[in-house]
Amino acid sequence: MTTQEILDKLPYGKSFLFVDELLHIDENGVKGTYIYTQDLPFYESHFKGHPVTPAVILTETMAQIGLVCLGIYLLKDINQNTSIAMTSNAIDFLKPVAPGEQVTVTSEKVYFRFNKLSCKVKMENATGEMVCKGNISGMLISKENG
């Protein structure tokens, strides 16, 4: 499965997609990037006059790259009507991310068993500084036929 095939399977629309590129993926982990463009709508209000990327968006970016992309890869030979949904996370936030910054997310699989995927994730800015790190887990879910 190519990285483009994985990106094409992501279940997010353009306004909620926080993955630009996958640099590496295998059965043990994934590495990808995203640029928080200055025109993202949440910057207008978070915080007024001094925009910062919300922690929930940083977490979502780590989940999309580090959990969902890896889950799609791991499920490549399994029923196409399943996906991975985040069920828990424990993230430490170390530095703010400003509009226009590119981040790199690296995820290492901790385990994938009993329909649960758990990953150790980290996010770094373009200078290699750690932005946030932690653990994210998700469960296999069946997609509704629509």
The pLDDT score that the predictor gives to residue 79 is: 61
Give just the sign of the alpha carbon dihedral 45, 19, 91, 117.
positive
Largest Cα separation within the chain, whole Å, is 48
Structure tokens given for 98 = 């400003």
CA distance 137 to 146: 26
Query: What amino acid is encoded at 51 in this protein?
Result: P
The residue among 68, 62, 76, 75 whose CA lies nearest residue 124 is 62
The pLDDT score that the predictor gives to residue 55 is: 97
The pLDDT score that the predictor gives to residue 80 is: 66
46 is catalytic: yes
**CATH number of residue 92's parent domain:** 3.10.129.10
Instruction: Give the structural domain span for 127.
Output: 3-142
The pLDDT score that the predictor gives to residue 144 is: 62
Number of domain units in the chain: 1
pTM (2 d.p.) = 0.94
The pLDDT score that the predictor gives to residue 146 is: 41
Alpha helices in 14-125 (DSSP H): 55-63, 70-74
Catalytic member of 3, 9, 42, 46: 46
Low-confidence ranges of the chain (pLDDT < 70): 79-80, 143-146
Cα first-last separation, the chain:
25
